Structure 1
Amino acid sequence: MKHFAKTNLVNLYLESLLASNPQLGLVEDQRIIYYKKKKSDKVRVISGGGSGHEPSWSGLVGSGLLDAAVCGDIFASPSARQVMAGIRASEPDSGVILAITNYTGDKLHFGLAQEKFQAESGGMQVAVIPVTDDVALGRTRSSKVGRRGLAGNLLVLKSMGACAEAGGSFDHVSNVGRAVNDGLVTVGCSLDHCSVPGRTDVDFHIPHDKAVLGMGIHNERGLVEVDIPERPEDLIKQMLTLLLDPNDKERAFVSFKEKDEVILLVNNFGGLSNLENGALTQVALSVLEQDYNIVPCRVLSGAFETSLDGPGFSITLYNPSYSATLVEKLSSKQLLELIDAPTDAPAWPRVGVNEPKKQKVLSKQEELAAKDCEESPYDELVSRICKHVISIEPSLTTWDTVMGDGDCGMAAKDAALHIQKEWNSRKQSSLKGTLNLLSSCLDDMGGSLGAILGIFVSALIYNLQKEGVEQAPKAVGLASKSLQTHTQARKGDRTVMDSLIPFCEVYASSGSLQHAAKAAQEGAESTKTLKAQYGRASYVSKTADVPDPGAWLFAAVVDQLSK
Structure 2
Amino acid sequence: MSAKHFINDPTHLVQTALRSITLTNPAVALDADNKIIYQRPTSTANNGSTVSLISGGGSGHEPSFASLVGRGFLTASVAGTIFASPSAEQVRRAILQRVDGAKGVLVIVMNYTGDVLNFGMGVEKAKAGGWRRRCWLWGMMLGSDGSRGKVGRRGIAGTVLVLKVAGALALSGASLKEVYDVARLTADNIVSIGSSLSHVHVPGRSVAEPSEEDLKENEVEIGMGIHNEAGSERKTIELPELVKTMLAYMLDPSDKDRGFLEVSSEDDTVLLVNNLGGVSVLEMGGITNEVVEQLEKDYRIKPVRILSGTYMTSLNGLGFSISLLKVRDTGLGSGKSMLELLDAPAEVTGWSAAIPTKTWEDKPNATMDKAGDTEEAKPSNHQIDPDLAKKALTSGLNRVIAAESDITNYDTIVGDGDCGIGLKRGAESVLKLLERSQSTDDAGIFLHKITQSVENSMDGTSGAIYAIFLNALTHGLRTQSPSSPAPVTVDIWANALNSSLEALSNYTPAKPGDRTLMDALYPFVEKLAETKDVHTAAEAAQEGAKGTKGMKASLGRTVYVGGEGWQGVPDPGAHGLAEFLMGLSEGLR
Q: Which category describes the TM-score, using the shorter chain as reference length?
A: 0.5 to 0.7
- Larger Rg, first or second structure (1 or 2): 1
Distance 2:295 2:226 in 1: 25
Residue 19 of structure 1 corresponds to: 23
CA–CA separation in structure 2 for the residues paired with 1:62 and 1:209: 40
Aligned-residue Cα RMSD (Å) equals 1.7
Instruction: Check if 1:2 corresponds to 2:4.
Output: yes
Q: Percent identity?
A: 44
Which one of 268, 284, 290 corresponds to residue 291 of structure 2?
284
Residue 216 of structure 1 contacts residue 222 of structure 1 at CA under 8 Å; is this kept in 2? yes
Secondary structure of 2:78's match?
A: strand
- Gap runs ≥5 in structure 1: 352-563
Q: For residues 125 and 142 of structure 1, what CA distance do their matches in structure 2 show?
A: 32
The aligned runs of 1:386-405 (5 Å cut-off) are none
The correspondence for 1:60, drawn from 57, 68, 71, is: 68
CA apart distance, 1:202: 4.1
Which of 100, 117, 120 is the equivalent residue of 1:91? 100
Partner of 2:305: 298
Match of 2:169 in 1: 163
Tell me how far apart the structure 2 counterparts of residues 101 and 291 of structure 1 sit (CA, whole Å).
30
What is the Cα deviation at residue 234 of structure 1?
1.5
What SS does structure 1 have at the residue aligned with 2:7? Answer: coil
- Once residues 279 and 293 of structure 1 are traced to their aligned partners in structure 2, the CA distance between those partners, rounded to angstroms, is 20
- Tell me what 2:552 maps to: none
Q: Which runs of 5+ in 2 are unaligned?
A: 355-589
The answer as to 2:183 corresponding to 1:180 is no
Of the candidates 158, 166, 176, which is equivalent to residue 152 of structure 1? 158
Per the TM alignment, residue 333 of structure 1 is displaced from its structure 2 partner at its CA by 7.2
Kept in 2, the 8 Å contact 1:261–1:332? The answer is: no
Aligned partner of 1:188: which letter?
A: G
Q: CA deviation at 1:220?
A: 1.5
Is residue 273–residue 309 contact of structure 2 (8 Å, CA) maintained in 1? yes
Determine the C-alpha separation between the residues in 1 that align with 2:18 and 2:349.
12
Report deviation, 1:228. 2.3
- CA displacement at 1:39 relative to structure 2: 3.1
Query: Paired residue for 2:339?
Result: 336
Matched AA of 1:24: V
Task: Name the counterpart of 1:45.
Answer: 53
Distance 1:340 1:95 in 2: 24
- Contact 2:347/2:353, CA 8 A, preserved across alignment: no
Give the Cα–Cα distance (whole angstroms) in 1 for the partners of residues 101 and 170 of structure 2.
Answer: 12
- Which amino acid is 2:346 matched to? T
Is 1:70 aligned to 2:67, yes or no?
no
Deviation at 1:120, TM superposition (A): 3.4
1 or 2 for the larger relative contact order (CA 8 Å, sep ≥6)? 2
CA shift, 1:187, in A, is 0.7
Aligned residue in 2 for 1:262: 269
Deviation at 1:152, TM superposition (A): 0.6
Change (3 A) 1:331 1:206: farther
**Which residue of the partner structure matches residue 423 of structure 2?**
none
Aligned to 2:217: 208
Asked whether the 8 Å contact 1:131–1:156 carries over to 2, the reply is: no
CA contact (8 A) 1:269 1:312 kept: yes
Cα distance between partner residues in 2 of 1:197 and 1:75: 11
Is 1:110 aligned to residue 119 of structure 2? yes
Cα-to-partner distance string for 1:279-317 (whole Å, 9 max, x where unaligned): 101110111111111111111111111000110110000
Q: Number of residues paired by the alignment?
A: 342
Give, in angstroms, the shift of residue 91 of structure 1: 2.4
Q: Structure 2 CA distance, aligned partners of 1:333 and 1:111?
A: 29
- Per-residue CA shift, 1:188-217, capped at 9, x if unaligned? 100010111111124442001310000000
CA apart distance, 1:121: 4.7
Amino acid at match of 1:89: R
Q: Which TM-score applies when normalising by structure 2?
A: 0.56
Contact 1:320 1:332 in 2 (8 A): no
Alignment of 1:64-463 (within 5 A): 64-87=72-95, 88-135=97-144, 137-138=145-146, 141-203=147-209, 204-229=213-238, 232-321=239-328, 324=329, 334-350=337-353
